[in-house]
Amino acid sequence: MKRPDPSAPVLARPELDRPVLLDVQDVTRLYGPGKGCEAIDFRLHAGEVLGIVGESGSGKSTLLRVLAGLEAPDAGRVVYHRPGDASETDLYAIGEARRRALLRLEWGLVHQNPRDGLRMGVSAGANVGERLMALGQRHYGQLRAAGQDWMTQVELDPARIDDAPRTFSGGMQQRLQIARTLVTRPRLVFMDEPTGGLDVSVQARLLDMLRTLVRQLGLSVVLVTHDLAVARLLAHRLLVMRRGRVVEAGLTDQILDDPQHAYTQLLVSSVLTP
């Protein structure tokens, strides 16, 4: 059998270890026994989409609030490693003002309910421009152009830049919230059930859009969802939570195809497939 020349270049090793962006160390935030999250430990690498799955009450939303800087943990540390910067930022050791600046300038948060992430009283364009203004941009024409550009990127009609978000459908509002969050090019984005409140027909379009944006912008994402199908399509890795703790962690396909923990097996086998 003819084989290629043995002296041909052999297999090159790809870059497998991306830098750590977020280092979560033994984080606990409890409201009561088993309510909240407990002893959570993981690292998020640059360019990764990490899904946190579990049923309601599993503590995944509490964990997301702690990670996103909205709620201090009872114990443990959330450490941010800024790319290209050797120093580390301990999210809850820095002052409130610095933390807020970090959330505004380098991170983004997409709420499940777009009304929590948007300002409903001002125009779509102002919603997109607001985070840019917080970064110091004042030029009206540029803000407006960025608004139109981002509305196009999330497949909204840029002609509706002066319309208030309340005149948009739920799916359109969610896309506007995503535009508002991503306009500042955050490195790290937290998403809480981003497709949760939407009709199934709208979900698919949003999923595709999120995948494309993650790829094009090189985003790192922590995604909370109870929907395993959404997790399969968006997340590279999964953490499975139950009663405040992580019961299993691994590659998304492995968690869903070869779950090891009894609870994950139950969760995966309970999904209805049409």
Partner 1 sequence: MTPILTVERLGKGFVLHGQGGLALSVMRDLSLELHPGECLVLAGPSGIGKSTLLKILYGNYLAGEGHIRLHFSDGPLSLTELPAHAWHALRRDVIGYVSQFLRVVPRVSAREVVMEPLLARGADAAEARVRAETLLARLNLPERLWSLPPGTFSGGEQQRVNIARGFIGEHPLLLLDEPTASLDAANRAVVVELIHEAKARGTAMLGIFHDEDVRERVADRLLPLESFMAPSLAPSAQPISRGLPHA
Which residues in this chain contact partner 1 in the complex, by CB under 8 A? 1, 3-4, 6, 8-18, 43, 45, 47-48, 204-205, 207-208, 211, 215, 232-233, 236-237, 249-251, 253-254, 257-258, 260-262, 265-266, 269
Q: Output 179 or 238, the one with its CB closest to partner 1.
A: 238
Q: Tokens in use for 108?
A: 């983004």
Distances (CA, A) of 117 to 76, 96, 120, 130, 210: 27, 20, 9, 12, 17
Question: 8 or 272, CB closer to partner 1?
Answer: 8
How far apart are CB 77 and partner 1 at their closest, in Å? 20
Shortest CB 206 distance to partner 1, Å:
10
What is the nearest approach in angstroms of partner 1 to the Cβ of residue 146? 22
Other beta carbons within 10 angstroms of residue 233's beta carbon come to: 16
**75 or 204, CB closer to partner 1?**
204
Residue type, 178: I
Secondary structure (3-state) at 254: helix
Token pair, residue 153, equals 């990127």
Nearest to 179 by CA among 158, 162, 200: 158
Short-list 212, 245, 207, 240, CA closest to 226: 240
Closer Cβ to partner 1, 136 or 274, answer by number: 274
Torsion angle (degrees, nearest 10) of CA 164, 166, 169, 170: 120
Residue 219 CB, nearest distance to partner 1 (Å)?
14
Shortest distance, CB of residue 175 to partner 1, whole angstroms?
14
Residue with smaller CB distance to partner 1, 103 or 222: 222
Please, are residues 189 and 234 in contact by the beta-carbon 8 Å criterion? no
CB 69 within 8 A of CB 52: no
The nearest distance, CB 252 to partner 1, in angstroms, is 9
Nearer to partner 1, 18 or 119 (CB): 18
41 vs 162, beta carbon nearer partner 1 = 41
Stretch (H or E) spanning 83: none
**Which residues are bridge partners to 75 per DSSP?**
28
CB–CB of 248/261 below 8 Å?
Answer: yes
Supply the minimum distance, in Å, between the C-beta of residue 250 and partner 1.
5
Assign 188 to helix, strand or coil. Answer: strand
